[in-house]
Structure formats: structure tokens, C-alpha cells
């Protein structure tokens, strides 16, 4: 993200929105303006900022437990309205910051601290594919899913994130990139095993690729 922002020369007019949750310390890692929002409400705050300051580049950085649970209404309606913001959505299939609990994105059979025998759809339903949900809406301009478990995958993620920001810069509309990211601690795996798990277990349910591209 930082490389893309510098490549595009937009740092001085970029504003990040970090919700109270896994992204709460975003302002420590980016040399740009960042505001905090209540948990799950980042798209609503970003909407307000962008409408008041339309010349700014506004992005949200959110986790899967947030977007697919407490913030479901905000992300769906911001996308449905076609708000000209960019959302970076980190999916590690658990609540990674608070103890590795099952999230709406936890895949079937995956063990977590609140489902030690594995997620059972009879009790917990099925994992939510939020990018596919947003792809049913008319307004979104760019929707993609990437992963971060190899140098090649990281380069591809960088390209997709750049396209998402370019969609906003060209005023095409709402853009979101879902990023499959490892959580070795929450998954109780080594870092190497976690990277393999993304390929072998996670990607089969969350396929990589571009779902929507209205052009930039």
C-alpha cells in the first residue's frame, strides 16, 4: 500500500481510516493522515470524509471479522452507493488480534479457539465471501482478491491495490481488494505451514482474481 501511494504521488492528499480493531495502530505505520472510526464503521467515516473533501484520496483498512460481522451494513451500503473510496480488506479467517476466535470467514473444518473441533455449518453456517456479495451490486467499480504468501503473490497484490486506488483517482467509484493473509499464531501453524495453508485450504474457498473491473 505504501509503495503504491508513493508511486502515484498522492501521499500528501491521502487519508486513511483505521477502525478500532486489528488496524487500530495504522497511524504508526504510514506517514500520512489517518483517522480512527468505531469498529466496523470505517466505510461510513470514509464516506463523510470523501464527500466533504472530494479532492482527497480516502481508504479504509479493515479485517475480515469486522467487514463480515459488525461492519456488514456499512461496507454493503457504501459499495451499493458507489462511494468513491478504496477498501483494503484483510482476510485471515479468524479474529487474529483477540485470541483466534472463529470469524464469519473461518472455513469449514478449520479449528479456532471458539470452535476447537472445526467449523461446522450446522452450527455456524458457511463462510462469507464478501467480495462475491459486493459483486452482486451494480455500483462497485473494482473488486479483486489476492494473497500474500509468496513474492509472486505479493507483486500481484501490489498491482491490484494500485488498480483499486486508480479507480478512485479516476472517479470510477467504489473499489475493494480482499487480501488473504496468514495468521500463524491464530492458526497454530508455523509461518511456512501457514503460507501453504492459504494455497491448500483457504484459496479453494476464496479464489484469487479480479471479479469486477469497470476500467480506469
pTM above 0.85, yes or no: yes
> Residue 18: which of 35, 41, 43, 4 has the closest Cα?
35
pLDDT at 216: 64
Please report the domains of the chain, with CATH numbers, ordered by start residue. 2-213 (3.40.50.970)
**pLDDT by 10s per residue, the chain, length 216:** 999 999 999 999 999 999 987 788 899 999 999 999 999 999 999 999 999 999 999 999 999 989 999 999 999 999 999 999 999 999 999 998 888 899 999 999 999 999 999 999 999 999 999 999 999 999 999 999 999 999 999 999 999 999 999 999 999 999 999 999 999 999 999 999 999 999 999 999 999 999 999 976
Please report which helix (H) or strand (E) contains residue 14, including its range. strand 14-19
Q: State whether residue 95 is helix, strand or coil.
A: strand
pLDDT at 208: 97
> Which stretches of 63-106 are DSSP H helices?
64-65, 72-81
Amino acid at each position: 500500500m505504501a509503495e503504491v501511494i508513493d508511486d502515484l504521488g498522492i501521499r500528501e492528499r491521502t487519508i486513511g481510516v483505521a477502525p478500532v480493531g486489528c488496524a487500530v495502530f495504522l497511524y504508526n505505520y504510514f506517514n500520512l493522515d489517518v483517522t480512527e472510526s468505531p469498529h466496523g464503521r470505517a466505510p461510513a467515516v470514509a464516506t463523510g470524509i470523501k464527500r466533504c473533501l472530494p479532492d482527497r484520496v480516502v481508504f479504509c483498512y479493515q479485517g475480515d471479522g469486522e467487514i463480515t460481522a459488525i461492519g456488514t451494513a456499512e461496507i454493503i451500503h457504501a459499495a451499493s452507493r458507489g462511494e468513491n473510496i478504496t477498501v483494503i480488506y484483510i482476510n485471515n479467517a479468524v479474529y487474529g488480534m483477540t485470541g483466534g476466535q472463529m470469524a464469519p470467514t473461518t472455513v469449514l473444518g478449520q479449528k479456532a479457539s471458539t470452535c476447537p473441533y472445526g467449523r461446522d455449518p450446522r452450527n455456524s453456517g458457511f463462510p462469507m465471501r464478501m467480495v462475491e456479495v459486493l459483486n452482486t451490486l451494480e455500483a462497485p467499480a473494482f473488486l479483486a482478491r489476492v494473497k500474500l504468501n509468496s513474492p509472486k503473490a505479493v507483486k500481484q497484490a501490489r498491482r491490484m491495490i494500485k488498480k483499486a486506488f486508480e479507480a478512485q483517482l479516476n472517479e470510477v467509484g467504489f473499489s475493494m481488494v480482499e487480501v488473504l493473509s496468514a495468521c500463524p499464531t491464530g492458526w497454530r501453524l508455523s509461518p511456512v505451514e501457514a503460507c501453504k495453508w492459504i494455497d491448500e485450504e483457504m484459496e479453494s474457498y476464496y479464489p484469487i482474481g479480479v471479479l469486477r473491473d469497470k476500467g480506469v
